[in-house]
Amino acid sequence: MRSVLIVDYAGRGHAFADLFVRTDPDITVHYAPGCAAIEHDRIVSVPWLDLYDPDPAPMVRYALDAGVDLVLVAHPRPLANGYVDAFRAAGLPTIGPDRSAARLESSKVFTKDLCSRHGIATAAYRWFDEPGAAVEHIRATGAPLVVKCDYSCQGNGVFVCDDVDEAVEAVERLMVTRDFGPGGARVVVEEKLVGEEQLFFVLVSGEQYVMLPMAVDYPRSEDGNAGPMCGGMGAFCPHPGETAEVVGRFEEQMLRPLLAAATAEGIDYTGVLYADCMLVGDRLYLIEINARMGDPEAEVVFPRITSNFTEVCRAVLERRLDELPPLELSAEHFVDVSATQGPDGVHPGWPYGEVGRGHPVTGVRDVDPDRCQVFYGSVRLTEEDELVSDGGKVVHVVGRGDTLEQAIDHAYEGISKISFTGIRYRTDIGKVLPWE
Ligand code: AMP
Ligand code: GLY
């Protein structure tokens, strides 16, 4: 295989592209839409392609014209829109869940119903298409409860409620005022689980799989784990709690039953599966599945992989993951600090409201490449080739080191070189744990 098309953007897509070119000296990566600012002679961004286009045809045409040997769809929107099905129909070897498999992320009701049918533990739940019935159920059950929209909103649209009024208000916001968009048409009301949250990443091919390293993610926007949930202000890897017992329990109680259940229901999953679980006593419960790698977890997990990733992908396609030697991992530590677009004097910034765009981003070239790597999030090049901010998570600065402490120092040394109007980042990534 000489070339791959990665369908994604932002930090996760950049980390995928980097994983291929770093571990396979012969591969060229087409990265759509990617980021035109990436300077690498084997990474070709395709900024005119639109990831949100419901019609996969333009991407399929590009892949055929470019003659790629492999396609990897990594972003949830094209996955939910059936891009994998379209690439495969055009005869292109493709990794990523097809439209029916991607429902494991795009519908919580679908996933929870599947779990119930196959005896996989998940919080007791009911779902509603009508707010009155949801409120009636909430009042009858009493708090604590969790109210969430059916369609995954990437960490938004989930309300962990300790009293009934809060839960009723959540229904109002999700179903009536639709604060979180059309996904609020159907809500799930479920039991609140109390335990230890554990996240796992797995590369799957049918019922075969390879576990990827665990990572610690910081979902809260402010220092000290304060502020709203925002899908990740940073991450680090290795995870201090990753043990053979933790991973083994996940494989035994969750992963193997889940893959068997999917197969039994005609779902043939390929690609990364990200399982969010809660350990209650010694029983693992499924909170949700994402049919993709996490972001910013990808930015700290992928740099540890040193196996030729093209060969790993070939094994996924040929259903030979079982025969693959164990994934080779660097012993180094990686810490991601996400530089986000905060208030710029006009807009409140991410994740609080409107985000200012077009602010010049400087200093990326001053970051020491031996100590840090910069993955591009929401940035673009202007017609004058100037790097400017273009959304919430602007750049990810990933420090590396022989110890966690060294990697933290390198990440913060790196991010101190970067500036743009309204830059905001957490100063405690790796220093406090997100569950503390
Ligand atoms: P989700 O988008 O479903 O992963 O939910 C976002 C976060 O809400 C999770 O990472 C958990 O921390 C929390 N959460 C979701 N469902 C539950 C539940 N049933 N019990 C306790 N916490 C939950
Ligand atoms: N870091 C959380 C996510 O990717 O959904």
Question: What does pLDDT average to over the chain?
Answer: 96
DSSP 303: G
pLDDT-derived band of residue 340, with 50, 70 and 90 as boundaries?
very high
What is the model's pLDDT at position 119? Answer: 95
Cβ-in-10-Å burial (0-12, 13-18, 19+) of 197 comes to: middle
Predicted confidence band of residue 155 (pLDDT cuts 50, 70, 90): low
Band of pLDDT at residue 36, cut at 50, 70 and 90: very high
φ, ψ of residue 54 to 5 degrees: the values are -65, -20
Atom of ligand 2 nearest to the CA of 12: 4
Residue 67, class by beta-carbon neighbours within 10 Å (0-12 exposed, 13-18 middle, 19+ buried)? exposed
- Is the pLDDT score of 179 beyond 60? yes
Convert the pLDDT of each residue in 388-420 to its tens digit.
Answer: 999 999 999 999 999 999 999 999 999 999 999
Q: Which ligand is nearest to the CA of 225?
A: 1
Mean pLDDT, range 7-35, rounded to an integer: 98
The 3-state secondary structure of 357-373 reads CCCECECHHHCCCCCEE
**pLDDT the model gives residue 154:** 57
From the list 299, 380, 293, the residue with the least C-alpha distance to 337 is 299
**Rounded Cα gap, residues 46 and 134, in angstroms:** 45
Q: In whole angstroms, give the CA distance from residue 435 to residue 300.
A: 19
Higher-pLDDT residue of 155 and 336 is: 336
Among 127, 158, 286, 292, residue to substitute to test ligand 1 (most atoms within 8 Å of Cβ): 158
Q: Which token pair is 290?
A: 């994402």
Q: Measure the CA–CA gap between 405 and 400, rounded to whole angstroms.
A: 10
Q: How confident is the model at residue 152 (pLDDT cuts 50, 70, 90)?
A: low
Has residue 184 got a pLDDT over 90? no
Length, in residues, of the chain: 436
Ligand whose nearest atom lies closest to the CA of 275: 1
146 lines ligand 1 (CB under 6 A): yes
The residue to mutate among 154, 272, 276, having the most atoms of ligand 2 within 8 angstroms of its beta carbon, is 154
Q: What distance in Å separates the CA atoms of residue 44 and residue 30, rounded to the nearest whole number?
A: 5
Q: Which atom of ligand 2 is nearest to the CA of 294?
A: 4
Q: Distance (Å, rounded) from C-alpha 154 to C-alpha 211?
A: 22
**What is the whole-number distance in angstroms between the Cα of residue 277 and the centre of ligand 1?**
9
Residue 180 has pLDDT above 90, yes or no: no
Q: Which domains does the chain have, with CATH numbers?
A: 3-101 (3.40.50.20), 124-191 (3.30.1490.20), 196-323 (3.30.470.20), 333-424 (3.90.600.10)
pLDDT tens-place string over residues 44-57: 999 999 999 999 99
The two three-digit tokens of residue 12, written as one number? 């996760």
